[in-house]
Amino acid sequence: TYTTYKITNAIIHYKKNYKENNLLVKQSIIVNLIDSIVSILTLQNTLILVNGEMDNMTGLVIITSFILYGFVLFITIFSFCQNIKYK
């Protein structure tokens, strides 16, 4: 429930403040998005470890971690380019 709340909250704040000109607000939104992505990975790994299925799920963990961290990298580079444009 907490992870779902974080994801929903981050997306709502992103949609509301997307056109904001304040750099601090934009960075806060990006940090919330990245935090929600990391909470997905944490929840996934915790559930796999609790159920004791880590041997069968190693490939899934590697693939989803790679995709989500790639998404974090994309968000970071995209926000960095936008910040350079505003300066």
pLDDT value, residue 86? 66
pLDDT for 87 beyond 70: no
Is the model's pTM score more than 0.75?
no
pLDDT value, residue 8? 92
Burial class (CB in 10 A: 0-12, 13-18, 19+), 1: exposed
pLDDT value, residue 2? 83
Q: Are 87 and 42 in contact (CB under 8 A)?
A: no
Residues 3-56 pLDDT 10s: 889 989 988 988 888 777 777 788 888 888 888 888 888 888 888 878 776 677
pLDDT value, residue 43? 87
